[in-house]
Structure 1
Amino acid sequence: MNTQTLEYIIAIAEEKSISRAADRLLVSQPAISRQLKRVEERLGTKLFLRERGEMILTDAGKIYVNGARSVQSIYEHALEEIRKLEQSGKRQITFIYNNALLPDFSVDILSEFRKLHPNTRISTIDGNASIAKDYLSNGMADLAVIATREASHTMLEFMPLRDEELMLALPASHPAVSSFEKHGVDLSLLRDEPFILNQQNSYFRSLEREILSHCSFTPDVLCEIRDLNASSNMVTNGKGIAFLPRSVYDHAEGCHLFSLPEPMIFHVVIAYSKGIILTGPIRDLIMLLLKNAPQ
């Protein structure tokens, strides 16, 4: 992961100038310009436009910078956890998961693990599949629970936990609820509804793009949210409609979930690097995850 590139782009966005960003970071202007050019060429789109002598973010640039700040925050959190670990002298397992996929982790699994290994600390990171794969592949995390439709991965081992379904979520009071219960989902009836979608770089957003590609309309996107539970709360409060995993149903009172015309099935798996040594604590954590997996 090149966090330096993220830092460069964020600095340009905040300073609205390549020269001021260079001064702030104590690097040359050509160095920052080259990094920006590489990123834009890789993405195939401009991140900035020049207006009145200032660098202004495009819509794509806003998405990139928001994502960059999230990644930078996770990375800094990881470094801080490492520093704390070195000071404490304890062993640590870095574990990445999405709370919506493991809602009972902190209550059930973590408490059982602490009884087995009181001197091993689990540092958790709330991250999507993209972040988890990157961290695992680069040795920055030990274990993750992710959503995927892949059966295998070149650098990671996958151990299945369960199959899940991405479903359409409507507020309980929505007028289409009774129709969908009787006749099934017809997305064309929702063309004028505000959609609450996942962030661009998330696995669930890729599934949403696949679902919406079959629609005859372009959805009105109210917002893009990283937290699936926050999406569920917005649906419950009538702010819009969303696509949510079936696993959030028990935690989504006032929210109706419906299977799509072509059910969107994905796998929830435990993932770890093919080169990792599975120590006793890591093996025990895997066993607890398997033991507590919903049937």
Structure 2
Amino acid sequence: MERIMEYILCIYKEKSFSKAASRLFITQPALSLMVQKEEKRRGISFFNRNVNPIIPTEAGMEYIQAAMKIQKIEQQLENRLHSLSNTLTIASSAFFCANVLPQLTDAFIKTQPPGCRVHCLEGSARELVAFLQDGRADFIISVDDHYGRNTQYQKIRQEYIILAAPRSLIQSPELQKAALPYPSIQTGSFSQPDYPSLSLKHFSGLPFILLTKGNDLYTRGRKLLRNAGVSPSSITYMDQLQTSFLAAQTGQGLTFIRAELATIAGDPGQFYFYKIDDELALRDVKIFYQKAQISPLKETFLTFCIQHFDQ
């Protein structure tokens, strides 16, 4: 289906240019301009813009009904091809693509007949939404919550968020002593009650590094600071978790990381790591998929994925 046809259908469903633009991740002026060009090309108006909410014109409704039929035919074809395909595409963040998916997909391929292939696709939080919605990815592995309409998810594991503090910024002997022993992070035993958690209020007045808006650790990080009444001396925002961790290595600020990252990236000797006294420090990792496009191979992978992380 042509992109402009998808855009016009979205406007019709949302009954608003602004809502449709938000859902399509484009600006409203850009969306309006594209529709106006299509209207000029066809010599018709698709929508009556003088009412609120907007409604289609007679010609516009003819176009929309035809577009819906095309969309249904394309979806049926897509579903059929997916059911016959022996290839999967799994998309996730840079961390999962580098450290989790290679082992997961290799293990899955060994359980399948020859010819089965699994591709990994890396993307930002915003890009992952588009990958799933436009069919470039069969599954998304993520800690986020929303991947659009007609999607489902399964929880596959939980992970802890810990605070990584550059040693150069921690001058208090009490805070130095309260840091987690590194072997407890390597083994995961730090999650047990034997290792006490620490309130973030002890780190007020220090610089922090958070992820940019759209990432789970943007919202979660800000809530963690707010819950503890922390007033950072400054906050720097970065796009990727591993980038923020590398920046913290140079002493630019404290940052929240998934505990697993501490065991595989950077020099742990440059940091003090802290278990956070807040329930937000534990989060779910989920696998998302389009519920209308679940083929036998996808069902098999989904079951394998859930069992793999239960081990």
TM-score bucket (shorter structure):
0.5 to 0.7
Are 2:212 and 1:199 aligned?
A: yes
TM-superposed CA distance for 1:121, in Å, is: 5.0
| Distance 1:261-1:119 versus aligned 2 partners, 3 A rule | closer
* TM-score, with structure 1 as normaliser: 0.59
Aligned partners of 1:169 and 1:92: how far apart in 2? 39
Paired position in structure 1 for 2:176: 178
Q: Residues 8 and 293 (structure 1 numbering): CA distance in 2 closer, same or farther, change over 3 Å?
A: same
Conserved 8 A contact 2:208-2:253: yes
SS across alignment from 1:132: helix
Q: Partner residue of 1:189?
A: 202
Native 8 Å contact 1:148 1:266 kept in 2: no
Aligned equivalents of 1:131 and 1:218: distance in 2?
32
Distance 1:191 1:212 in 2: 9
Deviation at 1:147, TM superposition (A): 0.7
User: What whole-Å deviation, never above 9, does each CA across 1:122-179 have from its counterpart, x for those lacking one?
Assistant: 1513232x553454345443101111479x9973222221111222111245335424
For 2:309, what is the secondary structure of its paired residue?
A: coil
Offset from partner CA, 1:51-107 (integer Å, 9 cap, x none)? xxxxxxxxxxxxxxxxxxxxxxxxxxxxxxxxxxxxxxx865332212334643354
Deviation at 1:8, TM superposition (A): 4.3
RMSD: 3.7
| Paired amino acid for 1:132 | L
Go from structure 1 to structure 2 and tell me whether the alpha carbon gap of 1:146 and 1:4 turns closer, same or farther (over 3 Å shift).
closer
Equivalent-residue separation in structure 2 for 1:293 and 1:99 (angstroms): 19
Superposed CA offset, 1:173-213 (max 9, x none) = 53354243397534333223221101111122111121122
1:125 aligned partner? 122
**Aligned twin of 1:214:** 227
Q: Which of 144, 157, 170 is residue 162 of structure 1 equivalent to?
A: 157
> 2:92, 2:142 within 8 Å by CA — same for their partners in 1?
yes
User: Which of 295, 298, 303 is 1:278 aligned to?
Assistant: 295
**Cα contact 1:172–1:236 (8 A) shared by 2:** no
State the alpha-carbon separation in 2 of the partners of residues 207 and 92 from structure 1.
Answer: 35
Whether the 8 Å contact between 1:113 and 1:284 is mirrored in structure 2 is no
1:261 maps to which residue?
277
Alignment coverage as a number of residue pairs: 216
Taking the TM superposition and a 5 Å limit, the aligned residue runs for 1:1-295 are 1-2=23-24, 4-5=26-27, 8=30, 92-101=87-96, 103-113=98-108, 116=112, 118=115, 120-128=117-125, 131-133=127-129, 135-137=131-133, 139-148=135-144, 155-173=150-168, 174-176=170-172, 177-181=175-179, 184-252=197-265, 253-254=267-268, 255-264=271-280, 265-280=282-297, 282-290=298-306, 292-293=308-309
Shift of 1:237: 2.9
Give the TM-score normalised by the residue count of structure 2: 0.56
Deviation at 1:245, TM superposition (A): 1.5
| Structure 1 residues 107 and 149, CA gap change in structure 2 (3 angstroms) | closer
1:228-266, CA deviations, whole angstroms, 9 ceiling, x for partnerless residues?
Answer: 112222223322111111221212432333222223221
SS state at 1:250 partner = helix
- For 2:310 and 2:241, the matched residues in 1 are separated by 18
Give 1 or 2: higher helix fraction: 2
Q: Return the letter of the residue paired with 2:255.
A: A
Bigger Rg over Cα: 2
Change (3 A) 1:105 1:187: closer
The whole-number CA distance in structure 1 between the counterparts of 2:274 and 2:131 is: 34
For 1:123 and 1:206, the matched residues in 2 are separated by 26
Is contact 1:185-1:261 (8 Å) kept?
yes
Q: Which amino acid letter does the alignment assign opposite residue 158 of structure 1?
A: Y
In structure 1, runs of 5+ residues without a counterpart are: 10-21, 29-89
Q: Residues 125 and 184 of structure 1: is their aligned pair in 2 closer, same or farther, counting only changes over 3 Å?
A: closer
Equivalent residue, structure 2, for 1:16: none
> Which is further off, 186-195 or 109-118?
109-118
Q: CA deviation at 1:220?
A: 3.7
In 1, Cα distance between equivalents of 2:94 and 2:310: 14
